[in-house]
Structure 1
Amino acid sequence: MKKFPKYGQRLTSVGRKWHGARFEDDPHFDYKNHVHVTQLPEPGGKHQLETLMGEFIAQDWDLSKPLWEMLIVENYEDEDGAECALIVRGHHTLADGQGFVISQLYMTSYHDELVNMMSSSAEAVSAAETGTVTPSSVHPLLKPLDRLSEPSNVLIAPLVQLFLASVFWISYALTLAVSFGYSTYHLVLDVFLCACTAWRVEMLTAPQPHGAARTKLKEFASSASMSMQDVRTCQKAFSGRRMGAEKDGKHRRGHVTVNDVMCAVMADVLGDEIRSKPVDFTLWGRVKRALAKVLPSPIGFFIPISIRSPGDWSMRNLSTGWLVYLYPSPPSNLPAPSVPTLHQHIHTCRTALTSLKHSLWPRIFFYIIQATGQVPVLYFGLTSVNALKKRVIGPIVDASLRSFPVILTNVPGPAKKPVTLEGMQVVRWTALPPQGGKGTVGMGLISYAGSMCISVAADRVPASAGVARRLCERFEERFREYVRAAEQVLDEVKGE
């Protein structure tokens, strides 16, 4: 609580005319209102835990208390050796995903490593900005300047420092200018794709009655753990313009990241799920199928993006987000996708994700919203504005949150070994983003202790019941196909 005081604060002043909502200390804070103990029905396995998770995340929030809850499940057991489970949920007004993860890891055996990582990241950025970094760490050709930059060189060291700081800020300015042009180009493409798909998006869950309130029921599922070694096998096989170019593990041009591989798999999984849905023979269903033949029909993924500065421990929501459009691999009658098809598919996803990674517009829009959000009178001050908000702004926001089927986030956890919490080893760790609008799905990718898994939350609708579990199972199966194809590539390259 001392390190992260927001856990003891509640949200107040919601809807005030002259200032925005704010957090204030809860004078009646009691951890017993937030930490609960429960037991699963027999046999107390994964299915029962996932059912409980769906019920837990569907509960309404009590705005009179700090917006977080913890559920200790005493009798959970699984094949990984777990003997209990700990479920934590928090409202996004409290913090962003990275803020929650940092605060949770702070309580574990990962504490010291986390503190060192946060401080070293902040120090590295500060050193680059002020020119106090070692010249050879900037570029090997600057190694002769290392001796001149030592503090003992009273006259020359400040000049070297000024030179390095100038190099950093000039490079930063040039990168910013190029990135802005590149980002604007892709912004136009994204707006075009959004205009083509937002009004005919294919949701993964069955339609809910038009005009009716969104169902409050949720379903949750998580996949089995997948080895990071298998992910690296895919990276080695599919990185570069030529398959197997990174068989020695060295990064080369066209290197694919973990996210590139996993998002390519995810696009295939969602494409398969959409194709497996019952055919809609209504007039609108026929129109959508006809339009899909002439208009681009990628799957829209809304991906949260952290803009948290290195070393920032605050529990603030410092995240923005953007849409990235990914195409699934073309359907095939073969029992497994062809290797060249997978290679091309992964690099198509890589191109889209690289554009997202370097785009400035998500950050720009974040600061615009932050600036205008500090003047609530613009939105709540007048009766006419309130009517406009209800009849125009509200429907636009609602439609925007339903203009894509998936919110997907990637959470990098402690990668090398499991952590412990109060002396107990954390066998498995999953994370999940919130859902978007009506019918959307929330998906989380998390790497932890040498493995990776996905989690899925969806609206529970009878006509699409079990969609969260199906997506996880499809992901496991599709990932195995990628690994087999990657192993085939590496075997062929080894034999050359």
Structure 2
Amino acid sequence: MLLNLFGSERESMSAVDTAWLRMDRPTNLMVITGIMFFEGDLDYQRLGQVMQTRLLKFKRFKQRVVRSGTSASWEDDPDFDLANHLHRVALPGAASKPELETMVNDLISIPMDFSKPLWQFYVVENYCGGSVLVARIHHSIADGIALIQVLLSLTDKEEDATVESVPKKARFLAGEREPDDPFMRLYKPVAKVYAGMLKSYAKVLGTSYGLMTNPTKLAELTQTGMGLGQGLAKMATMPADPRTKFKGKLSTTKRIAWSESLPLPEVKHVGKALGCSINDVLLSCVAGALRAYLVERGEQVDGLTIRASVPVNLRPENKLDKLGNYFGLVFLPLPIGVANPIERVYEVKRRMEEIKGGYDAIITLGLLSVVGSLPNMVEQPAIEFFSTKSTAVMTNVPGPKEPIFMAGAKVQDLQFWVPQSGEIGMGVSILSYNDRVNFGVMTDKKLVPDPQTIIARFGSEFEKLVLATLMHTLDGPPDPELAELHLAMLRMQSTP
């Protein structure tokens, strides 16, 4: 700890958090954006009291970033004022979805003010008969898993909970996730070896940037080290993703869109009928929507595969309630070239199984730790190198299974958008809440000016999969639940 001019302490930022801090650039701001939709009016004064009591107990939300050479530190903001971070706004015109989209689109392209703590909340008081809370939080403060914990700490399970009441901690442990969640299938094998391996092979990871140009030097590693070495060599030799409408030179303007939610029980039912996981189904719908967008724009998609960088939680059990970034990345090849919905689901499942138990997540976390402690002139080429390997960042976060309340107002729905790094121009976010599944897409305006056309296809792709699954199971006894689901979707479509 060091003292600043005001006599308060400075805390060194971790190397990984520093890496995320320095990824911030005009074409890709490292800011996580989320929206909470409320059924009624959100009491602005009461929300302020909740934030004073529950949010500001996390010291990061009262601290600003100070940079010095290759490092960065946290220090208390001597002029901290909640009013600089909690704002009350009103939408113009009809104050409906188009107006809210315009507001969020304007916000996501505005850099954070680094003279203050790196977060902003906006209360929209006139949205479709209710209220909306828009949150923007810089990635250097924490990763998505930790930030969900923070936001949930502001909520209650009962409408009449007092401001001073302390909510029960919501912790995303491995056993609490869906048993067929492939993101947890990735988490479990790497988490077992994470703590010891990352420390034991720090020297390997510390020299990994130089090894990128000469992977054969890794042959001297031990059996376990060979796993890391082979994974690192695989990344080093992985070809760049193909150029499509989704990949190219970025602008400084982003666009967001969000979907109507899908019923989670119905997604589960389709997955069960096919012998696949929930996320096999969801990721197949994502691949189908991206495929349809490219086809409409005349791109050749037969046999096309594009990769998504998928965050994998590596947070140790003793740091589940701590801020900061504790995740690595794996590269998931999306089968855009597969037209048949059933075949696409099974291909997604097969590819997820191929990367299960690999070392990619540990390696990328180690590399972030390394480059975050090196000069920025070293980090930026490394980030550029890895960003050529992916077309999108894709993340899946499980939200509360039951309705929650904030400052006495019921949360109707949740949405969020994941930032992209380097030259990646698309982010796809999947979030479950109260037995519903939501999709959010963020794109670069220069590459994809109309993300709404992608989002609109998630529902139709799921409907195609339902119909295809129903036909796929006709060899055996008819599935009444699946048939009823298909009829319900057709009725919903025919309703004006």
Structure 2 unaligned runs (5+)? 1-54, 159-164, 177-191, 201-221, 480-496
Name the CA distance, whole Å, in 1 between partners of 2:296 and 2:108.
27
Assess, with a 3 A threshold, how the Cα gap between structure 1 residues 481 and 54 changes in structure 2: closer, same or farther. Answer: same
User: Is 1:202 the equivalent of 2:244?
Assistant: yes
Residues 214-242 of structure 1: CA deviation (Å, up to 9, x unaligned): 42222111000100122012111111xxx
Pairwise CA distance, 1:265: 1.4
Assess, with a 3 A threshold, how the Cα gap between structure 1 residues 327 and 118 changes in structure 2: closer, same or farther. Answer: closer
Which SS does the other structure have where 2:467 is aligned?
A: helix
Say how many residue pairs are matched: 379
Name the CA distance, whole Å, in 2 between partners of 1:359 and 1:109.
38
Choose between structure 1 and 2: higher helix proportion.
Answer: 1
User: Is 1:229 the equivalent of 2:265?
Assistant: yes
Pairwise CA distance, 1:26: 1.1
The answer for the alignment partner of 1:313 in structure 2 is 321
| AA partner of residue 451 (structure 1) | R
After TM superposition, the score normalised by the length of structure 1 is 0.68
RMSD (Å), alpha carbons? 3.5
Pairwise CA distance, 1:36: 1.0
| AA partner of residue 303 (structure 1) | V
Pairwise CA distance, 1:257: 1.8
Residues 427-482 of structure 1: CA deviation (Å, up to 9, x unaligned): 01012110233461111000110110101111223x7421x101101111111111
The answer for the alignment partner of 2:418 in structure 1 is 433
Assess, with a 3 A threshold, how the Cα gap between structure 1 residues 345 and 53 changes in structure 2: closer, same or farther. Answer: same
| AA partner of residue 410 (structure 2) | Q
Pairwise CA distance, 1:484: 2.3
The answer for the alignment partner of 1:7 in structure 2 is 61
Pairwise CA distance, 1:401: 2.2
The answer for the alignment partner of 2:311 in structure 1 is 304
| AA partner of residue 482 (structure 1) | L
Structure 1 segment 273-292 matched on structure 2, within 5 A: 273-278=293-298
Residues 282-320 of structure 1: CA deviation (Å, up to 9, x unaligned): xxxxxxx7xx98xx7411101111211235211111122
Pairwise CA distance, 1:37: 1.3
Name the CA distance, whole Å, in 2 between partners of 1:179 and 1:428.
44
Residues 69-121 of structure 1: CA deviation (Å, up to 9, x unaligned): 101111111xxxx61111001110011111111000011115999745539x5
Assess, with a 3 A threshold, how the Cα gap between structure 1 residues 123 and 226 changes in structure 2: closer, same or farther. Answer: closer
The answer for the alignment partner of 1:259 in structure 2 is 279
Query: Which of 33, 58, 73 pairs up with 1:22?
Result: 73
Query: Which of 133, 142, 149 pairs up with 1:95?
Result: 142
Which SS does the other structure have where 1:428 is aligned?
A: strand
Assess, with a 3 A threshold, how the Cα gap between structure 1 residues 64 and 410 changes in structure 2: closer, same or farther. Answer: same
Larger radius of gyration: 1
Name the CA distance, whole Å, in 2 between partners of 1:397 and 1:173.
26
Which structure has more relative contact order (CA 8 Å, sep 6+)? It is: 2
Percent identical residues: 23
Which SS does the other structure have where 1:394 is aligned?
A: helix
Name the CA distance, whole Å, in 2 between partners of 1:113 and 1:439.
40
The answer for the alignment partner of 2:383 in structure 1 is 397
User: Is 1:455 the equivalent of 2:462?
Assistant: no
* 1:184–1:361 CA contact under 8 A, matched in 2: no
The answer for the alignment partner of 2:19 in structure 1 is none
After TM superposition, the score normalised by the length of structure 2 is 0.68
Assess, with a 3 A threshold, how the Cα gap between structure 1 residues 357 and 418 changes in structure 2: closer, same or farther. Answer: farther
Query: Which of 216, 222, 235 pairs up with 2:252?
Result: 216
Name the CA distance, whole Å, in 2 between partners of 1:204 and 1:478.
19
Choose between structure 1 and 2: higher strand proportion.
Answer: 2
Pairwise CA distance, 1:202: 1.7
Structure 1 unaligned runs (5+)? 125-168, 209-213, 240-255, 280-288, 332-336, 381-388
| AA partner of residue 257 (structure 1) | S
Residues 399-441 of structure 1: CA deviation (Å, up to 9, x unaligned): 53244221110010012x2211111111010121102334611
* 1:404–1:440 CA contact under 8 A, matched in 2: no
Name the CA distance, whole Å, in 2 between partners of 1:190 and 1:61.
32
Name the CA distance, whole Å, in 2 between partners of 1:122 and 1:460.
37
| AA partner of residue 475 (structure 1) | F
User: Is 1:35 the equivalent of 2:86?
Assistant: yes
Name the CA distance, whole Å, in 1 between partners of 2:281 and 2:397.
15
| AA partner of residue 130 (structure 2) | E
